[in-house]
Amino acid sequence: MHSRTRRNSYFSLVLSGPRLFTPGYLSYYHLRPGLDFQFDTMRQSMDKYEGRTEEDIFISELLGEAREILQKVGSPTPPRILLEGIIKELQALGPEDAREEDRSEEEIWSQIRGRIVRAAYATRPYCIRCGTCCASGSPTLVDKDIELFFKGVLTPERVETLRKGDMAYSNITEDAAPLEDEAVKIKEKPNTKTCVFLDEKERACLIYEFRPVQCRRQECWNPDNSQGIEDLPKLTRRPLLEPTGVLWEIIQRHEERCSHDELRRVIARLAGTKGQTVDQVLDMLRFDEHVREFAAEHFKLTPDSFDFLFGRPIRQTIHIYGLAVKDQPDGTFLLTTTDEEMRSAKTRDHQSL
Ligand code: SF4
Ligand code: SF4
């Protein structure tokens, strides 16, 4: 699983809901300026569509969308009131002439829904501590957050390092790409995107008074407030760990031997050498595991802090390259491919430790 360096904006989560009912292109055409929307006179038919005009159905579906968005946003405003307030703007977003429209249905829909979402948030312009944003990704720390370590709010066990070259999602490009620089973020609960500091029962942040900068800037009703956060200098391990002396030297040695950039190069070479260079990958895997064992033994560090000190283990991230590490009963491990087609070819190259 790739990591996200920044949290999803809740705004975009709401935006990504199901599409408005569209019986072909015509539905959006109902939004063309000049059409008279009569929300009050909607027929309340038990049968969803029977005996209703296309306009009726369209308005009904539009109300349904608004209702769903308002629920997600946590606003008590009735959907009809919301839509009546913005119907002219929605109509202005609709296609003027279906034959000449050059936007795709997706684009039209995204603009319409975006306008409804903004209007819904405007009816609830404050944090209701619902915890939704905390369950959609943990924050990446910026340099100012270093104080939280000095205060003891954050500890090495509660954070992890995404090393340079590690794969991470960008919320700007909405794609996974190797990180250009190192980042430190709060851990997420296993197999979820939920921040470890979210008390899920109470939907409350356990460190609310001391939450990091990114959390303070997060205002789901006001996406502009988090604009530019990606430009703030990110916290890295150096200011926290350089004073440790020998441990910092070991971390740097680990970075030299097991950098993601080098791992990517070594793995890329595998195909060209028909697996003959697999030892180079295994050496990196061995060193990555060895350095953690060494730190535990010599510095009495708990394994919970290793993802901060050395980043996520290579054996966990190697699947990005279509490879997998398999433990053997005798304590050794095999390097194999995750791709079925390559699996038989690679079996010859399995190495054990
Ligand atoms: S900012 Fe507040 S209201 Fe908005 S999603 Fe996060 S916790 Fe919920
Ligand atoms: S630190 Fe607190 S506010 Fe920030 S994501 Fe985690 S639980 Fe939410």
Residue 205 CA to ligand 1 center (angstroms) comes to: 11
pLDDT at 284 over 90: yes
CB 218 near ligand 1, within 6 Å: yes
State mean pLDDT over 295-309: 93
Centre of ligand 1 from the C-alpha of residue 126, in Å: 8
3-state secondary structure 186-208: ECECCCCCCECCEECCCCEECCH
CA atoms within 13 A on the CB side of 82: 28
Tokens standing for residue 313: 């283990």
198 lines ligand 2 (CB under 6 A): yes
* Mean pLDDT of the chain, nearest integer: 82
Query: Of 23-27, 84-88, 165-169, which gets the smallest average pLDDT?
Result: 23-27
- As a whole number of angstroms, the distance between CA 131 and CA 199 comes to 9
What pLDDT, on the 0 to 100 scale, is given for residue 342? Answer: 47
260 confidence band (pLDDT: 50, 70, 90): very high
Task: Give the residue whose CA is nearest to atom 2 of ligand 2.
Answer: 205
Q: What is the pLDDT of residue 50?
A: 58
The mean per-residue pLDDT over the stretch 300-321 comes to 92
Q: Is 75 in the pocket of ligand 1 (CB under 6 A)?
A: no
Residue 165 backbone class (left: φ over 0; alpha: ψ -120 to 50; beta: rest): left
How many A from CA of 210 to the centre of ligand 2? 9
Q: How confident is the model at residue 276, as a pLDDT?
A: 80
Greater model confidence, 123 or 49: 123
Mean pLDDT comparison of 8-12, 97-101, 191-195, 276-280, highest-scoring range: 191-195
Minimal-distance CA residue to ligand 2 atom 8: 134
Q: Which residue in the block uniquely carries the two structure tokens 């740097």? A: 252
Q: How far is the CA of 218 from the centre of ligand 2 (A)?
A: 10
Ligand 2 centroid to Cα of residue 231, in Å, is: 20
Look at residue 152 and tell me whether its pLDDT is greater than 80. Answer: yes
Between residues 159 and 220, which one has the greater pLDDT?
Answer: 159
Mean pLDDT of 54-72: 83
List, for residues 14-53, the tens digit of each pLDDT value. Answer: 445 555 555 444 466 666 665 566 665 544 444 455 566 6
Query: Residue 129 CA: which ligand 1 atom is closest?
Result: 7
Residue nearest atom 5 in ligand 2 by C-alpha distance: 134
Do residues 117 and 14 touch, judged by C-beta distance below 8 A?
A: yes
Nearest-angstrom CA–CA distance, 235 and 200: 27
Q: Domain-by-domain residue ranges, the chain?
A: 10-122, 130-236, 239-347
For residue 352, what pLDDT band results from cuts at 50, 70 and 90?
very low
Please give the pLDDT value at position 353: 20
Instruction: Select from 8, 132, 136, 205 the residue to mutate for testing ligand 1; criterion: most ligand atoms less than 8 Å from CB.
Output: 132
Cα distances (Å, whole numbers) of residue 173 to 4, 177, 238, 333? 12, 9, 28, 37
Task: Give the tokens for residue 181.
Answer: 């620089």
Quick check: CB of 204 below 6 Å from ligand 1? no
pLDDT value at residue 102: 81
Please report the pLDDT score of residue 313 as a whole number. 94
Sign of CA dihedral 42, 43, 49, 52: negative
Does ligand 2 have an atom closer than 6 angstroms to the CB of 215? yes
Q: Considering just the CA atoms, what is the radius of gyration of the chain in Å?
A: 26
Task: Work out whether strand 175-178 and strand 204-205 pair parallel, antiparallel, or are unpaired.
Answer: unpaired
Q: Could you tell me the distance, in angstroms and rounded to a whole number, from the CA of residue 184 to the centre of ligand 2?
A: 15
Which amino acid, residue 46?
M
* pLDDT tens for each residue of 318-348: 888 888 888 888 877 788 887 644 444 343 3
Nearest residue CA, atom 6 of ligand 1?
A: 133
